[in-house]
Each structure stands twice: as structure tokens, then as C-alpha cells.
């Protein structure tokens, strides 16, 4: 397969507007390899995006890769989230790509004809699996991972962008002392309980909320995410711990999260599974 450079062409006039790309993890190419072993073109910037890059002075980001795992949140919520993040990044003049990693579905979603969007498809389910599937296709020098619904309404990203130069990983933390965190008592209790379990099993692990949104340098994200064992919701905790265990610079920033009428999908079995995986992680270190 022909190798295509990820760098943006300097000849603005020669750039064509490509369609959004769909990358199917389950399919094989002609040589019998999974598509995620191939190198795909990420020259998806329009003339407007390149001009934005030239004028970007305050934020030291050449390109931001937004990673959105998608399972059953609903296409309406997905496209609403995409619209929100695109508006935010274009207003800040930050070049970007958005990689939607659909998992656990039998049918692909239909993306609009937008060159900034990429869809990675996998029939198998799992948050960790979905994020690992994005690794071969990331071309940004920074990665931002969030739910496609952007539960913090980008209040996290406002703070994350201020600190990206000084830290290898910045976490939008619900449990930060300055966060506005208003949800049902049950959900808040679950978050605090998970944090307590983590501090109990991993006493040197000082991160209060490893389940927040993540903003990381791509070099470290790719290197450490590929080593994470978990393919489910525990992926994020193990990834953050690997950053911590490698003595990389980590900081948590406050967020605004007000969702009082939303019920938690976490049950007792999830809690037991979480605790078991914490114990396994403790044994591996």
C-alpha cells in the first residue's frame, strides 16, 4: 500500500477537499492484514484550517486529535457533540482531526461529508478497545479524549489548553477541589468510592479522578496506551497509572459538571470488576 505523509501540504492551492474516511477494523486488506496496520492520509485540512495554523500564536499545538469512542449514545448526541467541539476549536484557531471510534455495533453510522472526520469501526465492544483502535490513525501532536457527549461542556478543555506546554497529561477532574460537581448523590458516592478504592489498593497513586477527560502528548499516549491490558472501562485508570508510574508530569484541572437527573449505568458488578482489576494492576507493578 502506498505510504502517504501525514504532514499538511504547504501548497494551499493544490489541496482538495477529501471525504470523511471510514476505517473498518474487522475487514482485511488484499494482503490479509487488518486495516489498522495501514497508513492512511490525514491531509484533511481545508484552506481555512491551514490559515488558522499560521495565525495560531498563543497555543503551541500543531494539530489536535479529538478521540471520541461511540457505542450507544445516539447519533443525535454524537453529531451535536461534534458540532460543539468543531466550533470551539475553530474559534480558538486550533487545527484538528476528529476520530470517532465506533464499537459494539453491527452497523456503521453515516458521517457527513467532512474531511476533518474519521470513523474507525469495530464490531467488538469496549472503551479501551475503541481507544486502542485509534492509535494507528492519530496524526496530531496532542490528543484529547472525551465522551462524544462532552459532559463538561468543554469547561475542561478551556483549562487543559492553558497547561499543555508544561505537562505530559492533563486530566479534567470531577473531584478537583474547584470543580462544580452537581449530580445525584448515588453517582457522586460511586465516584468517591472508586477513588477511595484506587487510593487503598495503589496508595502512591495520587490522582483523584483518573476517569476524567484526558489531554496528552501523542508521543506518550501512543506509547503507553498500546501497553494497557484492559479493553473495557478500566482502560483509562490503567493508562493514567502508566503515565504516573513513568514519572511523567500530570495535573488535574477543575470542570463544571451539572447532571442531577441522569442515572448512573454503573452497578454492583461493575464495582466488583473495578476492584478486581485494581488488584490485578497492583500485582503487575
Q: Concatenate the DSSP letters of all residues of 93-106 into one string.
A: T--EEEEEEEES-S
Asked if 70 and 125 count as a contact pair (C-beta separation under 8 A), the reply is no
Which grid cell is 25?
A: 477494523
Cell, residue 259: 447532571
Q: What is the pLDDT of residue 105?
A: 86
Distance, in Å, from the CA atom of 177 to the CA atom of 252, rounded to the nearest integer, reads 10
Alpha-carbon distance of 208 to 191, in angstroms, equals 10
Q: What is the pLDDT of residue 257?
A: 87
- For β-strands 169-173 and 213-217, DSSP reports them as antiparallel
**Residue 164: how many CB atoms within 10 A of its CB?**
20
Label residue 32 left, alpha or beta by phi (over 0 means left) and psi (-120 to 50 means alpha): left
- pLDDT value for 11: 34
257 Cβ neighbours under 8 A, 6+ residues apart = 151, 152, 174, 179, 180, 181, 182, 183
Across the chain, which has 285 residues, the per-10-residue mean pLDDT values are 35 40 58 42 36 45 95 88 96 95 89 93 92 96 94 90 91 92 77 80 86 94 94 92 94 86 60 80 76
Per-residue model confidence (pLDDT) at position 57: 43
Strand-pair category, 142-145 with 96-103: unpaired
pLDDT reported for residue 279:
84
pLDDT at residue 8 in the model: 33
- pLDDT for 268: 64
Amino acid at each position: 500500500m502506498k505510504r502517504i505523509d501525514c504532514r499538511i501540504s504547504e501548497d494551499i492551492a493544490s489541496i482538495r477537499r477529501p471525504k470523511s474516511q471510514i476505517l473498518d477494523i474487522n475487514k482485511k486488506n488484499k494482503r490479509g492484514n487488518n486495516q489498522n496496520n495501514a497508513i492512511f492520509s490525514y491531509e484533511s485540512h481545508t484552506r481555512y484550517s491551514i490559515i488558522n495554523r499560521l495565525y495560531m500564536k498563543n497555543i503551541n499545538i500543531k494539530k489536535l486529535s479529538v478521540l471520541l469512542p461511540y457505542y450507544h449514545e445516539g447519533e443525535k448526541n454524537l453529531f451535536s457533540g461534534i458540532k460543539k467541539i468543531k466550533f470551539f476549536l475553530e474559534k480558538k484557531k486550533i487545527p484538528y482531526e476528529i476520530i470517532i471510534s465506533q464499537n459494539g455495533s453491527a452497523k456503521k453510522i453515516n458521517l457527513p461529508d467532512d474531511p476533518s472526520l474519521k470513523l474507525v469501526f469495530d464490531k467488538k465492544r469496549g472503551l479501551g478497545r475503541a481507544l486502542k483502535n485509534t492509535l494507528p490513525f492519530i496524526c496530531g501532536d496532542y490528543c484529547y479524549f472525551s465522551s462524544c457527549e462532552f459532559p463538561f461542556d468543554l469547561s475542561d478543555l478551556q483549562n487543559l489548553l492553558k497547561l499543555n506546554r508544561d505537562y505530559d497529561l492533563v486530566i479534567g477532574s470531577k473531584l478537583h477541589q474547584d470543580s462544580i460537581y452537581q449530580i445525584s448523590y448515588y453517582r457522586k458516592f460511586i465516584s468517591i468510592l472508586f477513588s477511595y478504592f484506587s487510593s487503598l489498593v495503589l496508595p502512591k497513586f495520587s490522582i483523584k479522578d483518573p476517569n476524567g477527560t484526558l489531554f496528552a502528548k501523542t508521543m506518550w499516549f501512543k506509547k503507553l496506551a498500546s501497553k494497557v491490558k484492559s479493553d473495557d472501562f478500566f482502560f483509562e485508570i490503567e493508562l493514567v497509572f502508566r503515565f504516573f508510574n513513568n514519572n511523567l508530569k500530570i495535573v488535574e484541572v477543575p470542570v463544571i459538571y451539572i447532571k442531577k437527573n441522569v442515572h448512573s449505568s454503573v452497578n454492583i458488578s461493575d464495582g466488583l470488576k473495578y476492584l478486581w482489576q485494581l488488584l490485578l494492576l497492583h500485582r503487575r507493578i
